[in-house]
A and B are shown apart, each in its own frame.
Chain A
Amino acid sequence: AQSVAQPEDQVNVAEGNPLTVKCTYSVSGNPYLFWYVQYPNRGLQFLLKYITGDNLVKGSYGFEAEFNKSQTSFHLKKPSALVSDSALYFCAVRDPTGPNDYKLSFGAGTTVTVRA
């Protein structure tokens, strides 16, 4: 079985400060990992993904995430947060080798609030 944990329900940072949203995963094989963002009254939008290769992946809007296999983590980061980054962030994992290789398992989400 595959699963994702986002240990923080909420993250609050000041504008201009670094932002980190934590994610750990559990999957039997090598994972495909994703981050999505949801703005109010909107669907989820893709931010970035890790499939293979460099452990540091860069995505949209200045976000990046680091894959750490030993810690089974895929934390989302942004060096300098903006008020417009305030949203709900979801981490997701997929096992590409299992019988349900299409199935994404989402975390519960982390609400990010960036104050001016």
Chain B
Amino acid sequence: DAGVIQSPRHEVTEMGQEVTLRCKPISGHNSLFWYRQTMMRGLELLIYFNNNVPIDDSGMPEDRFSAKMPNASFSTLKIQPSEPRDSAVYFCASSLARSGGENEKLFFGSGTQLSVL
């Protein structure tokens, strides 16, 4: 298996522009997470999908952030408009959540390094 695939690996954009980050989870996984990593705040959970349905988006910083999962093999995280404080590494992770509640371990993608100038 190729693992969790994220694109692009690096994104440099100007303040005010729209940014779209993409993620392909591991085939067969039913849970998908978007995380943001910064030096100041560490790893923050932005949003959690189970079976393509958003379950918890309480970590999404503001309305400028949105995420979708149109099918089991694809998710996007969009920032519109982007701001310099959005600069961070954004990770997508997937796992297999079994009935009964025990999530398996998370598999992380390599991340997208976002720089907003």
Contact = CB atoms under 8 A, between A and B. Distances in A.
Interface of A: 32, 34, 36, 41-46, 49, 51, 90, 94, 96, 100-104, 106-109
Given A41-B110, A46-B105, 19 more contacts: A36-B108, A42-B110, A42-B111, A43-B4, A43-B91, A43-B108, A43-B109, A43-B110, A44-B93, A44-B108, A45-B108, A46-B107, A49-B105, A102-B50, A102-B55, A103-B45, A106-B43, A108-B42, A109-B42
Contacts of A107: 42
A102 B103 contact: yes
Interface of B: 4, 31, 42-43, 45, 48, 50, 55-56, 91, 93, 97, 101-103, 105-111
A68 B89 CA distance: 33
Nearest to A51: B102
A96 B91 CA distance: 23
Contacts, number: 50
B109 A96 contact: no
Contacts of A102: 31, 48, 50, 55-56, 97, 103
Contacts of B108: 36, 43-45
